[in-house]
Structure formats: structure tokens, C-alpha cells
């Protein structure tokens, strides 16, 4: 459209301005009379028409590419905002779920040992401080996440009877790296909630290890006969962590959950983030 408009304006100027009057008289045709102007495209316009089309096409193409890039950037920003909002919602679901289970543990401890219950409340306050303030970021230090997980296990351990066997294998030497917070707690909560029996023998086994690239979390617990399959498989917490893992790591993680009549097993492998290492 711009090219057609430019062509029309150029043709009009060539018609209004008599360019031949600027030429020497020797260029006049035979008889010395200048011919009357006839409508037609000026030769220079014909020569430059395709060049104008080429330039216009190039500029239009560049404008379209820039608009597409702006649209792509905006779409990515919208998608990131959606993912961040969904992650925040899922993480906020963990807090009341965690607090409810911890309070149940302390409540059961009060009837057994008041002094230990008081210490448990103090320990819970430290856990809640981490949960509310320190974990409210995209990533946390791996050491802090390990400490938080271990302290929670120690808190829940206080309510276990002698019939429950608890096995822990958690690395003491931990690399300086970052990890998304609260990835292991839902599985630990699930083990203490659904994996123990007060009537017969039961067990919980938790391993938290690292290698050069990943964190490997393994949790195994017994499935008491009183627990139904649906209940022992976990509820909101397990569904929550599955969604979070998919949003955070896409396909760059491994989660295997296996359940038999006797044992419920979880094996989670997630990559470490060394980008903030100085």
C-alpha cells in the first residue's frame, strides 16, 4: 500500500513539474515545440518500481518479525507468571498440611511426656520459621533443606512407639548447591502418617543422598493392614508435589512410586543447581 502511494505521489510530481523545461533547448524536438504532456509512468518510476517493492517487502518483513518476537516474549512472560502463581498456590498448601501433622504429633506427645512436648513446640517454631520465611524463594541452600527434613523427622520420631523401626541414612557432607524447597517433606509426612501401626510392627526407612549432579531421596514404609490402598498412597501432599515437580523441572527429574500390600516406596531424583556457587 505504501509503495502504491509513493508511486502515485512520484507520478504526480513528475506531471506537475516540467522536468524537460530544465533541459537545454537543443534537446527540443524538431520544430522547437515541446510536446504536450501525456499520461504515463515516468521511465525512472518504472525503473525504480521493483526496487521500491523490494525495499518495502524487506521493511515489512522486519516489522512482522519484530512483532512476532514481542508477542513471543509477552507470551513467555504470561506463562511464567501463570507457573509462578500455580507454584505459589501449591507451596502454600504445604504449610497448613505440615502444621496440622506436626501439631498432631505434639498433641500425642503431651500425654506421654510434658517436657518433651515443650521441646517439640520449640523445635516446631524453628521449622515454621523456615517454612514461612526461608522457603519462600525459588531455591534454597541444599544444606538448609537437609536440616529442615532431618529436624522434622526428629520431631515426628518422638511419637513413635517401640514397635516402629526407623532407619535414617542422610549425608553429613553436603555440597554447596541450591534446590527447590519442600520437595521431600510431603513424602516424609506421608510415611509417618500412613506407614506406622500401633498394633503391630512397622517400619520407615528414609535415605537422602547426593552425588555430583543430583539429590537422591528414597523413602520406604510399611503399609499396615488397617490402611486402605487409597489412603496409604497419600492425598493432597503427594498430588501437590507431583504437580510442583512437573512445573519446576519439566522432564528433568525422576519420580518412581511403587506400592505393594506390604510396602510403599518412593524414589525421587532431582538435579542440583550449582549456578550460584561462588
Range 106-135 average pLDDT: 79
For 14, 18, 19, the CA distances from 25, given in Å and listed in that order, are 19, 14, 13
263-271/254-259 β-pairing: antiparallel
Q: How confident is the model at residue 39 (pLDDT cuts 50, 70, 90)?
A: very low
Average pLDDT, the chain: 75
pLDDT of amino acid 83: 52
pLDDT of amino acid 267: 97
For 188, 190, 235, the CA distances from 270, given in Å and listed in that order, are 16, 19, 22
pLDDT of amino acid 18: 47
Yes or no: say if 202 and 195 are a contact pair by the CB < 8 Å rule: yes
Yes or no: say if 217 and 208 are a contact pair by the CB < 8 Å rule: yes
**What are the residues facing 271 on neighbouring strands?**
214
Range 194-214 average pLDDT: 90
Residue 216 three-state SS: strand
Q: How confident is the model at residue 108 (pLDDT cuts 50, 70, 90)?
A: confident
Yes or no: say if 110 and 124 are a contact pair by the CB < 8 Å rule: no
Range 100-115 average pLDDT: 74
pLDDT of amino acid 131: 79
Range 15-22 average pLDDT: 48
Q: Look at 15 and 57; give whichever has higher pLDDT.
A: 57
Yes or no: say if 190 and 152 are a contact pair by the CB < 8 Å rule: no
**Cell numbers standing for residue 45:** 518510476
pLDDT of amino acid 198: 75
Place of cell 519420580: 255
The whole-angstrom distance between residue 136's C-alpha and the CA centroid of its chain comes to 14
pLDDT of amino acid 162: 85
pLDDT in tens, 219-239: 999 998 765 544 445 566 677
- Percentage of residues of the chain with pLDDT beyond 90: 25
Write the burial class of residue 6 (CB in 10 Å: 0-12 exposed, 13-18 middle, 19+ buried). Answer: middle
Asked whether the predicted pLDDT for residue 19 surpasses 50, the reply is no
Q: Look at 36 and 220; give whichever has higher pLDDT.
A: 220
Asked whether the predicted pLDDT for residue 8 surpasses 70, the reply is no
Instruction: State how far the Cα of 160 lies from the Cα of 139, in Å rounded to an integer.
Output: 32
Asked whether the predicted pLDDT for residue 60 surpasses 50, the reply is yes
Query: Crossing angle, helix 185-194 and helix 142-157, to 10 degrees?
Result: 10
pLDDT of amino acid 167: 95
Largest distance between two CA atoms of the chain:
128
Yes or no: say if 187 and 268 are a contact pair by the CB < 8 Å rule: yes
For 50, 172, 233, the CA distances from 191, given in Å and listed in that order, are 75, 22, 9
Asked whether the predicted pLDDT for residue 9 surpasses 70, the reply is no
Query: pTM for this one?
Result: 0.64
Instruction: State how far the Cα of 157 lies from the Cα of 159, in Å rounded to an integer.
Output: 5
6-10, 59-63, 214-218: least confidently modelled range: 6-10
Asked whether the predicted pLDDT for residue 5 surpasses 60, the reply is no
Domains of the chain: 2-67 (no CATH), 84-271 (3.30.565.10)
88-97, 135-144, 227-236 — most confident range: 135-144
Amino acid at each position: 500500500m505504501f509503495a502504491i502511494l509513493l508511486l502515485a505521489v512520484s507520478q504526480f510530481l513528475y506531471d506537475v513539474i516540467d522536468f524537460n523545461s530544465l533541459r537545454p533547448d537543443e534537446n527540443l524536438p524538431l520544430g522547437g515545440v515541446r510536446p504536450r504532456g501525456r499520461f504515463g509512468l515516468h521511465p525512472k518510476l518504472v525503473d525504480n518500481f521493483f526496487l521500491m517493492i523490494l525495499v518495502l517487502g524487506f521493511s515489512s518483513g522486519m516489522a512482522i518479525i519484530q512483532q512476532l518476537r514481542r508477542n513471543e516474549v509477552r507470551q513467555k512472560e504470561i506463562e511464567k507468571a501463570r507457573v509462578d502463581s500455580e507454584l505459589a498456590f501449591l507451596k502454600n498448601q504445604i504449610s497448613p498440611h505440615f502444621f496440622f501433622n506436626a501439631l498432631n504429633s505434639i498433641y500425642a506427645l503431651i500425654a506421654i511426656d510434658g517436657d518433651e512436648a515443650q521441646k517439640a513446640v520449640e523445635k516446631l517454631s524453628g521449622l515454621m520459621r523456615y517454612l514461612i520465611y526461608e522457603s519462600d524463594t525459588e531455591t534454597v541452600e541444599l544444606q538448609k533443606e537437609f536440616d529442615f527434613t532431618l529436624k522434622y523427622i526428629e520431631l515426628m520420631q518422638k511419637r513413635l512407639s517401640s514397635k516402629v523401626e526407623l532407619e535414617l541414612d542422610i549425608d553429613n557432607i553436603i555440597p554447596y548447591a541450591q534446590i527447590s524447597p519442600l520437595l521431600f517433606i510431603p513424602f516424609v509426612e506421608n510415611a509417618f502418617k500412613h506407614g506406622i501401626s500401633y498394633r503391630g510392627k512397622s517400619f520407615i526407612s528414609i535415605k537422602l543422598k547426593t552425588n555430583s549432579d543430583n539429590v537422591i531421596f528414597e523413602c520406604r514404609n510399611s503399609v499396615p493392614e488397617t490402611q486402605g490402598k487409597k489412603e496409604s498412597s497419600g492425598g493432597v501432599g503427594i498430588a501437590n508435589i507431583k504437580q510442583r515437580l512437573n512445573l519446576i523441572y519439566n522432564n528433568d527429574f525422576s519420580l518412581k512410586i511403587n506400592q505393594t500390600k506390604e510396602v510403599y516406596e518412593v524414589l525421587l531424583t532431582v538435579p542440583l543447581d550449582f549456578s550460584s556457587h561462588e
